[in-house]
Amino acid sequence: ALEKNWEMHSRNYNKEMVKKLTGLNDQQAEEFMIWFNARNVLPYTSNEYEVRASIRAYFDLYKKQKNLE
């Protein structure tokens, strides 16, 4: 069951999705994902809408912390 959850999760949460939502390049997206993952925000059961909303919300926080604005 865990593997199936991870498969569904990675379909909604992956580097391409992060890049599309944030406008970051490959390396920046990886750095953001490491930062984001460390916060344990997303349960594996998150749907696509929840994933997108979380990425957007936390990207604003990330930009403030990294002074990217």
Q: Please check the confidence at residue 5 and state whether its pLDDT lies above 70.
A: no
Evaluated on CA atoms 49, 60, 19, 27, the torsion sign reads negative
Phi, psi (degrees; rounded to nearest 5) at 18: -60, -45
More confident residue, 53 or 4: 53
How confident is residue 6, by pLDDT bands cut at 50, 70 and 90? low
Tell whether pTM > 0.85. no
What pLDDT, in 10s, does the model give residues 7-60? 767 888 899 999 999 999 999 999 999 999 999 888 877 888 999 999 999 999
